[in-house]
Amino acid sequence: MKELLNINNHKQNKSNKKKDKYNNKKDKYNNNKDKYNNNKDKYNNNNNKEEDPKALNLEESVIGGILIDPNCLEDIIDIIEPEIFYKLKNKEIIKVIIKLYKNSEPIDIYTVSNELKKRGKLNFVGGDFYLTKLTQNLIYSANIEYHSKIIKKKFILRQLIATSYEIIKLSQEEKSDVLDLLNYAEMKLFKINNQTNIKDTTKSINELIKTTINNLKHNGKNLNGIPSGFIDLDKITCGWQNSELIILAARPGMGKTSFAISMARNIVVNLKIPILIFSLEMSAPQLVTRLISAETGITSERLKSSDLSKLEWQLVNSKMKILSESPLYIDDTHYLSIFDLRCKCRREIYNNKIKLIIIDYLQLMTYGKFENLPSLPREQEVSFISRNLKAISKEFNLPIIALSQLSRAVETRGGRKRPILSDLRESGALEQDADLVTFIYRPEYYGFTNWDNGDNEPCKGEAELIIAKNRNGRIDNVRIKFCNENVKFSNYEDGNDNAEK
């Protein structure tokens, strides 16, 4: 009996040891967790931010340098802003200095002190004693721009830390859709990136002239942009130019997508230039079916039904081989925000060396929905999208062609129903942001049989590209051919495949 009790006690002691060991590990984990939370709380505590990236000595030196030599403010006015300074007292002083500068008033200890006194902030910043102290922390005027950039970089680091904590918190709460959260994170980082005006983007005219002349010599008699394959159009545009936003607009049924496909085919097959198409309206298989139809001359209806002869199947296979070897990339994401697009562009440009981006079509894009984003009227959303498309084209230095719908005003208008710039749907910002605006116009669509040029020329199977705005060239109209059966555009000369040669 005694032996049995000893065995039970031994087992109990062993069990208690395991339990104590587990509890010790649990306590250690909880202590580490508490330590992490305490560190996080310490970071978020406005009264204790030793871990924040900052350059307090440089903040004081820069302000002191401005008070001693206000002329140096000219070199840094586009860098410094009140919010980039860490100390609240320094923020208030810089606010006053910038106000005096914008009002063309003198900047010195007296004027700054007097303005702070008017605002009731002089005692808050430490009085005249602190202002005098700042002037003793002198730096060379030649270095003030460099030091200002360091202050700006510290501010950007603080923004990145704050944004990271915000994203961590939102992720842990699991209250938002993960895709919306990704969009929001991208938007926040995009906003920070847009504030980083610390790069030297100013170039002398001497440098720019040399670069331009070298480019012209390199191009020779060739187009200096990406040719569309439509001869008369390329004569006006000299090809699609880098950093340009091109709006291709028309009413539904005019052939916006078909023209974009015909043009894309010319570029990727003949020139082997990589293109990325964002197809928000049609799926990738539908787009490829259109492409095959235009390439083979077989209607989409027959391709869908597979009602083809043996020779036609051989034709399809041979054309498919050509197309499959071309550098064409298609993204058919339906719900696409401007932040998604920017992220995808960056990835595809890096992976596939994309040189041209086509968006079909702009009004189907979204500005990005998230609980912290304000709801905007649709007109402002489209303005936001077009403005950012232009920014993306400049950032990645490539042309972006955005297809766009026209308003119903074209249909209600009397006469020949030619589109004009004011017909651009939902936003006047499209006209403002675009470098080139082109309309597709087919009189045959409205039941007209002749062109309105006074010569009574028949318009069946023909279309016109109306270049209504061209920031870097002339505006004109270009006649092209349109095959309704294959939904295909070609050069005007004879309506055959000249656009593809």
Active site residues: 281
* Residue 77 CA from chain centroid, whole number: 26
Q: How far is 149 from 400, CA to CA, in rounded Å? A: 32
H/E stretch holding 482: strand 477-483
Q: How far apart are CA 108 and CA 208, in angstroms?
A: 38
Give CA separation, 172 vs 21, 26, 160, 169, 403, in Å.
30, 21, 18, 5, 39
111 CB-near residues (< 8 Å, 6+ apart): 100, 105
User: To the nearest 10°, the Cα dihedral for 286, 289, 293, 294?
Assistant: 70
Beta bridge partners of 483: 488
Alpha carbon distance 73, 77 (integer Å)? 6
Rounded Cα distance, 172 and 274, in Å: 40
Between vectors from CA 9 to CA 7 and to CA 11, what angle results, nearest 5°?
70
Q: 245-250 and 400-405 as β-strands: parallel, antiparallel, unpaired?
A: parallel
Query: Which H or E run includes 277?
Result: strand 275-279
Please say whether the beta carbons of 329 and 352 come within 8 A.
Answer: yes
**Separation CA 419–CA 439 (nearest Å):** 7
Q: Are 458 and 437 in contact (CB under 8 A)?
A: no
**Could you give the residue ranges of the DSSP H alpha helices within 415-492?**
429-433
Angle in degrees, CA 397, 402, 406, rounded to 5: 150
Q: Which two tokens stand for residue 265?
A: 């085919």
Secondary structure of 325-360 as H, E, C letters: CCCEEEECCCCCEHHHHHHHHHHHHHHHCCCEEEEE
- Percent helix, percent strand, percent coil in the chain, to nearest 5: 55, 10, 30
Residue partners of 402: CB distance under 8 A and separation at least 6 = 245, 246, 247, 248, 358, 359, 361, 362, 386, 389
Cβ neighbours of 462 (radius 10 Å): 18
